[in-house]
Chain A
Amino acid sequence: MRTGWLKSVSKYSWIGYTAARSEWAYSAANVSRIIFMATVLYVFMRLWSVVYEGAGVERLGGLTEKQMLWYLVATESIIMSMPRLWYEVDHEVRTGAVAVQLIRPLSYIGAHFGRSTGERLVRFAINLVMGSLIATLFAGPIAFSLSGLAMFAMVLPMAFIIDFFGAMLVGLCAFWLESTQGIALIYSRLMMLLGGLMVPLEVYPDSVQPILRALPFAAILNAPGRMLVAPTFALFVQCLGLQALCLVVYGFGVFALHRYALRRVFVNGG
């Protein structure tokens, strides 16, 4: 029993490892992502620089100007590391390739999880290293504490898993819709707007903050971002609680939708 469980973990780890090596091989795509990230960070560095100057304050939403840029490094690294999982699932459903995936001795969701995590870890590492270099160059370094980095390291994997479930839910909609591109676009914009991608949630009007904090998007972006630049133990506990809840709800959603979707698979041979 124990050996079987270990074998499963090893199987999906190998899928992840292979995906990571494959991702590493596409240097042109990585360079292009770095250029895009540098552009975004530059634009936002200018935006926040003008805002801090105009407001005449040292802190906004509890963050200094430097911390704000480092917050962006964390959130942009997370958002730009997500593979287009919804597109892969959509493509497999539309072309019928999902039938081939289903006869393999692998869990469909597990295999996608291994693959997307492998790709994501490489992308995230590159984004974070290059983003940190750009932030150091543009704004200068900030002080990190060991406990803060440890909290960031604990919150981050949870954020990745919740994000994976979110993208899988969007992709699985392909069983019912002609195209999931529209939903994916809306989902990513909601994430950007409500998750605190470019502006920490603490900068939003006080009236909307409690709602935004309770949404899963905050567990994916705002929580790790804050943990990196301004960690507190109380915030850490609050983030973990929200992430645990999102994990259960999203996870249940994915498994239920997957089971229901499989009833719609018809194999006609060929």
Chain B
Amino acid sequence: MIRSLFDYLRLAATYVRFNLKAHLEYRGAFFSQVVSMFINDGAWVIFWILFFKRFPVLHGWTITDVITLWAVVTAGFGLAFGIMGNAFQLATLIAQGEIDVWLLQPRAVLPHMLLGRSAPSAWGDALFGFVVYLGFVRPDWPRMLAFIFLSLIVGVVFIGFAVLCGSLSFFMGHAGALADQWRNALISFSTYPPTLFQGAVKVLLYTVIPAGFVSYLPVQTLRSMSAVDGLLCVGGALLVLAAGVSAFYWGLRRYESGNLVSMNG
């Protein structure tokens, strides 16, 4: 089990290296996407800084909490799609019958396929998350280590959710637009202070759109450094991942090849 895990981690490292090398063949385009995503995220943080300058506290949340929120969400999102960029394309890959190539290889289909591509702009998000957390929040060592761990956990939520949304294509035909909408809703809700939402919407944020596991719980963990909050984050992430993986392998039984002849280089 442990050996198999290390084996997959080595595979992931190899894919990351190859994907980065491929991006660096067009280094102008790659760096421009990384830098522009960094600036894009920075624009949001500037918006919140201006906002909190005028309204200093928002239902108990301060500017430090919102910056922590942005840092952990962007770092998690960036790591997730920088490493497993095919999670973005899953709905289209399934709808167009393009996963044959991954079915033929001696590896588990889902992780292998997800590793096959890297989203270049996601590296800008990841870089932004770490820079802004170090620069603005100035954490101590335990908090920094917790931040790295929680970024990975948030990444797991994003991947699990993207797989869940993308797998809808097995059941509905082309679910690309729906998957995009659902994923955008997760991003929209997870980048605002969760204390804004109450009642039924709060329930939705821990179930249908699991933004609570991406935003509220990780920030709460970094505030309190409580093991219980940390365990809740891990539990939530594993639940979302399990839902996504189950939906994928259940749907895979219904998969029909597109009979495409393509090179996978």
Contact = CB atoms under 8 A, between A and B. Distances in A.
A40 interface: yes
Contacts of A58: none
Interface string B176-197: 0110110011001100100111
Contacts of A28: 177
Contacts of A142: none
B22 interface: no
A192 B43 contact: yes
Contacts of A46: 196-197
A179 B58 contact: no
Interface residues of A, number: 32
Contacts of B201: 42
Contacts of B185: 36, 39
A43 B189 contact: yes
Interface string A159-189: 0000000000000000001110111011001
B37 interface: yes
Nearest to A203: B54
Contact of B33 (A47, A55, A182, A190): A182
Interface string A11-51: 00000000000000000110010011001101100110011
A54 interface: yes
A193 interface: yes
A54 B47 contact: no
Contacts of A204: 50, 54
Interface in A175-223: 177-179, 181-183, 185-186, 189-190, 192-193, 198-199, 203-205
Interface string B54-71: 110111000000000000
A179 B177 contact: no
A182 B32 contact: yes
A47 B26 contact: no
A205 B192 contact: no
B224 interface: no
Contacts of A42: 201
Contact of B32 (A32, A47, A181): A181
Nearest to A189: B43
Contacts of B29: 178-179, 181
A55 B59 CA distance: 11
A60 B27 CA distance: 46
B142 interface: no
Contacts of B181: 32, 35-36
A256 B211 CA distance: 47
B207 interface: no
B135 interface: no
Given A39-B188, A55-B55, A203-B54, A198 B36 contact: no
Given A43-B192, A54-B58, A182-B32, A29 B40 contact: no
A50 B194 CA distance: 12
Contacts of B59: 50, 54
B35 interface: yes
A181 B35 CA distance: 11
Interface string B89-130: 000000000000000000000000000000001000000000
25 contacts: A32-B181, A39-B185, A47-B58, A47-B192, A47-B196, A50-B196, A51-B55, A51-B58, A54-B57, A55-B55, A177-B28, A177-B32, A181-B121, A183-B36, A185-B37, A185-B39, A186-B36, A186-B39, A189-B40, A189-B43, A189-B44, A192-B47, A199-B50, A203-B54, A204-B54
Interface of B: 26, 28-29, 32-33, 35-37, 39-40, 43-44, 46-47, 50-51, 53-55, 57-59, 121, 177-178, 180-181, 184-185, 188-189, 192, 195-197, 201
